[in-house]
């Protein structure tokens, strides 16, 4: 028998070798495509809804059982050995006795009498005491977790983390309203002339022909609502101010045109036009930018 097995060994090996080689050369199975985020969200809400439905069914069954067994529970509750026990109070709560939650009211005066005001010898309601005990446990756990073990972030650190995460979601290109530009004011007569033309066409109806202020604020004094430094003015013109009537000129004016009109506005500082509108905003020293509000 052993001899026959030895004789069959090489033919079997010859037959299996190509199959094993094919298996070895076969490409690895492509990993399963990760579930789409929307599919994961739908699955999560489906499981949550299913769990809620199951809990509602169990609650309904529990209520039906209590209603059916109410006579038996009442007899059990009336037994002297059960009535005053903690489990007896739980049974009493199921059949309508709220002592477990509200406590017992004793008509026993403590002997205190002040201007006709007397005091009964009643304990605090159990619901209040249980709540107070819970706050003690919570405070100890909170102190240990946040201040002793330093396992969690405090409010300031959590705020900083959220702000860092938020910056990752904001683009860093020129169209980012949260990123201030680093331009310098244009001083050439050609740029200021072009800025004046743009201002007269687009800005004068609200700010006045000489920037003295009409519907919009006066642009010639030292007071600014959103910063008077060239890059703050540029940002205000480009992105506007939502809710205050200042429209965004992004898409209507090119970047250089916005810088030209911003430079022209800065050139009007201290011009003191007639009928200038009263100051608005915060006073800004020349050359010191004010953070936009």
pTM of the model: 0.42
Residue 233: the pLDDT is: 92
**Does 206 lie in the same domain as 141?**
no
Answer for the pair 281, 225: CB distance below 8 angstroms, yes or no: yes
Greater model confidence, 81 or 220: 220
DSSP structure string for 235-293: HHHHH-BTTTTB---BTTB-HHHHHHHHHHHHHTTT---TTPPPP-SEE--TT------
More confident residue, 78 or 14: 78
Q: Does residue 210 lie in a domain region?
A: yes
> What tens digit of pLDDT does each residue of 222-235 get?
989 888 899 999 99
The answer to whether residues 267 and 211 belong to one domain is yes
Q: Are residues 194 and 272 in the same domain?
A: yes
Of the chain, the percentage scoring pLDDT greater than 70 comes to: 80
Domain membership flag for residue 157: no
- Report which of 173, 150, 288, 148 is spatially closest to residue 232, judged by C-alpha positions: 288
**Residue 32 host element (H or E):** none
Residues 141, 198: one domain?
A: no
Share of the chain above pLDDT 90, in %: 33
DSSP classification of residue 177: T
- Number of structural domains found in the chain: 2
Q: Give the Cα-Cα-Cα angle 116, 117, 121 (nearest 5 degrees).
A: 135
State mean pLDDT over 120-133: 84
In the prediction, which pLDDT does 199 show?
Answer: 94
Higher-confidence residue: 2 or 283?
A: 283
The mean pLDDT value for 273-293 works out to 69
Ranges 6-10, 63-67, 208-212, 230-234: which has the least confidence? 6-10
Token pair, residue 191, equals 């740029």
Same structural domain, 196 and 268: yes
Last residue of a domain, one of 148, 176, 205: 148
**Residues 142 and 211 grouped into a single domain:** no
Q: Is residue 34 included in any domain, yes or no?
A: no
**Domain presence at residue 68:** no
DSSP 8-state code for residue 16: H
Residue 67: the pLDDT is: 84
Compute the average pLDDT of residues 48-52.
94
The residues, ordered by sequence, that sit 6+ positions from 49 with a Cβ below 8 Å of its Cβ are: none
- Ranges 20-34, 44-58, 118-132, 172-186: which has the least confidence: 20-34
- 76 located within any domain: no
- Whether the pLDDT of residue 134 is over 80: the answer is yes
Angle at 175 between CA 169 and CA 179, to 5 degrees: 65
The packing angle between helices 37-68 and 70-77, to 10°, is: 60
Q: Are residues 201 and 126 in the same domain?
A: no
Residue 33 lies in a domain: no
**CB neighbourhood size of 264 (10 A):** 24
- For the ranges 40-49, 110-119, 236-245, the lowest mean pLDDT is seen at 110-119
- Domain limits at 254? 189-283
> Is 208 a member of any domain?
yes
CATH no. for residue 231?
Answer: 1.10.760.10
Query: What would the pLDDT profile of 245-256 be if each residue is shown by its tens digit?
Result: 898 998 899 989
Q: Which one has a higher pLDDT value, 278 or 99?
A: 278
pLDDT at 174: 63
Residue 135 phi, psi (nearest 5): -65, -35
> Residue 105 domain-assigned?
no
Q: Tell whether 143 and 193 lie within a shared domain.
A: no
Asked whether residue 264 falls in the same domain as residue 210, the answer is yes
Partners of 114 in the β-ladder:
117
């Amino acid at each position: 028998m052993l001899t026959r097995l030895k004789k069959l060994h090489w033919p079997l090996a010859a037959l299996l070798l190509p199959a094993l080689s094919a298996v070895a050369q076969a490409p690895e199975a492509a990993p399963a495509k990760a579930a789409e985020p929307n599919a994961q969200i739908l699955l999560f809400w489906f499981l949550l809804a299913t769990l809620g439905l199951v809990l509602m069914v169990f609650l309904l069954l529990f209520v039906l059982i209590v209603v059916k067994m109410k006579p038996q529970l009442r007899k059990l509750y009336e037994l002297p050995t059960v009535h005053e026990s903690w489990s007896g109070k739980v049974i009493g709560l199921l059949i309508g006795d709220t002592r477990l939650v509200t406590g017992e009211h004793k008509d026993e005066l403590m002997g205190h009498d002040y201007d006709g005001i007397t005091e009964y010898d009643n304990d605090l309601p159990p619901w209040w005491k249980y709540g107070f005990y819970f706050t003690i446990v919570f405070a100890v756990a909170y102190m240990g977790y946040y201040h002793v073990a330093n396992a969690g972030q405090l409010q300031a650190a959590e705020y900083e983390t959220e702000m860092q995460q938020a910056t990752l979601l904001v683009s860093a290109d020129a169209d980012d309203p949260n990123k201030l530009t680093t331009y310098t004011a244009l001083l050439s007569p050609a740029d200021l002339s072009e800025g004046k033309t743009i201002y007269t066409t687009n800005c004068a109806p609200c700010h006045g022909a000489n920037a003295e202020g009409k519907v919009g604020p006066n642009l010639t004094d030292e007071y600014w609502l959103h910063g008077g430094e060239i890059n703050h003015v540029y940002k205000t013109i480009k992105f506007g101010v939502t809710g205050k009537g200042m429209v965004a000129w992004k898409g209507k004016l090119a970047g250089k045109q916005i810088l030209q009109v911003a430079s022209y506005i800065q050139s009007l500082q201290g011009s003191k036009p007639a009928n200038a509108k009263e100051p608005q905003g915060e006073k800004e020293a020349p050359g010191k930018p004010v953070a936009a509000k």
